[in-house]
Amino acid sequence: MLKTPIVVVNFKTYPESTGERAVQLAKIIEQVAQDYSASVAVCPQHADIYRVSREVSIPVLAQHVDPLKPGRNTGWVTPASVKAAGAVGTLINHSEHKIPHDQVKQVVDLCRSKELVTIVCTADVEESKGLAAHSPDFIAVEPPELIGTGIPVSKAKPEIVSGSVKAIQEVNSSVQVLCGAGITTGEDVAKAVELGTVGVLVASGIVRAKDQRAAIEDMVRALPK
């Protein structure tokens, strides 16, 4: 359901990507994706999934879901609800929203039964290896200490990226690998692909950029054709 190579943009809870501004940013990203015939997906907050997915045709993912079926679960977020809101998948286990590994498996299985794509986030090679066994569609390795720093994982800690690619391949070769943390330029993206990934998971480098269009353009241009 997600074409690769890909840039996945996590909107987090930044003001620049909340509410109507989430729609504006998603439209900019959609335009760039069309101009360059590139695959780009966006992850707005739950409250913005519906409004964003109604306005753009690029894939929209949730930032998290809980391993729950519809029913008596006040305040929790089911895979069924994000799908009904227009999401085609979800991030899980982001370093800003960690969950126990057995719950990662439950979410992956539940999402698969609903035909929702799963991007499981990991912090290092060990966690990548462990969670590959749960067969998500993607694993995005993101060392937490580099998140939001502008210091790209693909250059600062290439061994975590290539090590995760290798470890994941050994456990389950159908899991595709992304990396993230500190990615801000096309060069960072090119390096990530060189290390064996099928793309990047990025947030501040686009959301907080002075020129959001230029930032996403630079990254998308670096994706292999």
| Catalytic positions, written as ranges | 94, 142
Q: Which of 25, 24, 61 is nearest to 43 (CA)?
A: 61
Q: Which of 202, 219, 220, 223 binds ligand G3P (CB under 6 A)?
A: 202
Phi, psi of 30 (to 5 degrees): -60, -45
Choice between 80 and 156, CB closer to ligand G3P: 156
Q: Which of 182, 192, 198, 220 binds ligand G3P (CB under 6 A)?
A: 182
> What pairing do the DSSP bridges indicate for beta strands 89-92 and 117-122?
parallel
Q: In the complex, what is the shortest distance from the CB of residue 72 to ligand G3P, in angstroms, rounded to a whole number? A: 31
Report the site for ligand G3P in 114-143 (rule: CB under 6 A). Answer: 142
Q: Which of 79, 122, 205, 215 binds ligand G3P (CB under 6 A)?
A: 205
Q: In the complex, what is the shortest distance from the CB of residue 77 to ligand G3P, in angstroms, rounded to a whole number? A: 17
Asked if 167 is part of the footprint of ligand G3P (rule: CB under 6 A), the reply reads no
Q: Which of 161, 192, 203, 220 binds ligand G3P (CB under 6 A)?
A: 203
Q: Cβ neighbours of residue 106 under 8 Å, at least 6 residues apart?
A: 67
Q: Count of residues binding ligand G3P (CB under 6 A)?
A: 14
Q: What angle do CA 63, 66, 71 make, to 5 degrees?
A: 130
Residue-level length of the chain: 225
The span of 81-89, 129-137, 155-163, 178-186 binding ligand G3P (CB under 6 A) equals: 178-186
Helix (H) or strand (E) holding 25: helix 20-35
Which of left, alpha, beta for 53 (phi over 0: left; psi -120 to 50: alpha)? alpha
Residues in touch with ligand G3P (CB under 6 A): 10, 94, 142, 147-148, 180-183, 201-205
